[in-house]
């Protein structure tokens, strides 16, 4: 557990094209401190800039919690008066960094996934969930006004009625309920979660990065601006695929009946 020598932190592990960002604060169910919120955008940028990284996974240390959200012990100093708005901005910068990441993002969810932790998971492209996971956004139980910018990612994965239910009641949802709502992509036994998440991350990591980027940009743009999407910008990503070395490699590999070796260029 974190001590004075090992304070709550975010740490990264890179292996096999997968960058795992670990919220390490198990004494508080991996709640995010202000320093952790501030560090997350930088770590996402570093993963985006690293050509060896193909997929980004967010998780909590251990198996008890993805994250219990913001560290409530800091609320008196950080979420009152003028500081409350700045703390909100720091939260938003973290959520935006995850939601707008150029590379695929996966939340690997064990146990508690509450408040800002739940929002972080929702901001990821997908969520692989253990059977013991519990989801909740209890803002209404603390009289916290939920930033409208954070509701858009919710509406990308659940209906408006379910988003209202989650925010109005502040109730807890099981993994099975999260799957039915669209929050979870898959639910697996807790002992199998790490292997299941790694399997899907590896499936993405061996595929063509430019093709995945084009699909990700298109889906996000079409959702954010359904009536007036920037199709010219999206066409650029598609054209970049056809002009790439990877497209030539994909064709050659198909003809030679071998697995392609994509380089993202």
Share of the chain above pLDDT 90, in %: 75
Q: Is residue 260 part of a domain?
A: no
What string of DSSP letters covers 70-108? B-GGGHHHHSSTHHHHHHHHHHHHHHHHHHT-SS-EEEE
CA distance 163 to 147: 13
Asked which of 205, 230, 245 is the last residue of a domain, the reply is 205
Domain range for 174: 9-205
CA distance 135 to 107: 13
Same domain, 55 and 118: yes
Lowest mean pLDDT among 141-145, 157-161, 167-171: 141-145
pLDDT in tens, 53-106: 999 999 999 999 999 988 776 655 555 566 667 778 888 999 999 999 999 999
Same domain, 186 and 221: no
Q: Is residue 265 part of a domain?
A: no
Same domain, 160 and 222: no
Q: What is the CATH number of the domain that holds 164?
A: 3.90.226.10
Residue 199, exposed/middle/buried by CB under 10 A (0-12, 13-18, 19+)?
Answer: exposed
Q: Is residue 181 part of a domain?
A: yes
Distances (CA, A) of 67 to 120, 133, 184, 233, 254: 9, 11, 16, 35, 43
Same domain, 139 and 222: no
Asked which of 205, 221, 236 is the last residue of a domain, the reply is 205
Same domain, 227 and 141: no
Q: What is the pLDDT of residue 74?
A: 63
Same domain, 162 and 125: yes
Domain count for the chain, please give it: 2
Q: Is residue 151 part of a domain?
A: yes
Same domain, 35 and 120: yes
**Residue 1's pLDDT band (cuts 50, 70, 90):** very low
CA distance 248 to 132: 45
Same domain, 170 and 244: no
Give yes or no for residue 181 having a pLDDT over 70: yes
Q: Is residue 24 part of a domain?
A: yes
Give yes or no for residue 176 having a pLDDT over 80: yes
Share of the chain above pLDDT 70, in %: 93
Same domain, 156 and 244: no
Q: Is residue 262 part of a domain?
A: no
Q: Is residue 233 part of a domain?
A: yes
Same domain, 121 and 243: no
Give yes or no for residue 15 having a pLDDT over 90: yes
**Residue 12 bridge partners (DSSP):** 21
Q: Which of these, 196, 50, 80, lies nearest to 143 by C-alpha position? A: 80
Same domain, 136 and 233: no
Q: Is residue 264 part of a domain?
A: no
List all residues 6 or more positions away from 200 whose beta carbon is below 8 Å from its beta carbon: 106, 126, 128, 186
Asked which of 189, 205, 221 is the last residue of a domain, the reply is 205
Same domain, 215 and 182: no
């Amino acid at each position: 557990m974190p001590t004075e020598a090992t304070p709550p932190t975010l740490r990264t592990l890179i292996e096999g094209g997968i960058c795992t960002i670990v919220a390490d604060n198990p004494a508080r169910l991996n709640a995010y401190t202000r320093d952790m919120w501030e560090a997350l955008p930088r770590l996402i940028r570093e993963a985006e800039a690293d050509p060896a990284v193909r997929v980004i996974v967010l998780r909590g240390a251990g198996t008890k919690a993805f994250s219990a959200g913001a560290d409530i012990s800091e609320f008196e100093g950080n979420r009152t008066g003028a500081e409350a708005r700045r703390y909100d901005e720091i939260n938003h910068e973290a959520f935006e960094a995850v939601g707008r990441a150029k590379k695929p993002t996966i939340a690997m969810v064990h146990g508690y996934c509450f408040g800002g932790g739940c929002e972080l998971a929702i901001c990821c492209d997908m969520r692989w969930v253990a059977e013991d996971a519990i989801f909740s956004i209890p803002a209404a139980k603390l009289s916290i006004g939920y930033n409208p910018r954070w509701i858009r990612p919710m509406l990308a994965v659940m209906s408006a009625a379910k988003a209202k239910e989650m925010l109005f009641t502040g109730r807890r949802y099981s993994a099975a309920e999260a799957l039915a709502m669209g929050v979870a992509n898959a639910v697996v036994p807790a002992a199998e979660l790490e292997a299941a998440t790694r399997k899907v991350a590896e499936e993405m990591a061996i595929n063509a990065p430019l093709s995945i980027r084009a699909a990700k940009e298109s889906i996000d743009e079409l959702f954010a601006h359904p009536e007036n999407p920037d199709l010219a910008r999206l066409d650029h990503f598609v054209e970049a695929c056809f002009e790439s070395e990877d497209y030539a490699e994909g064709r050659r590999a198909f003809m030679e009946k071998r697995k392609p070796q994509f380089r993202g260029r």
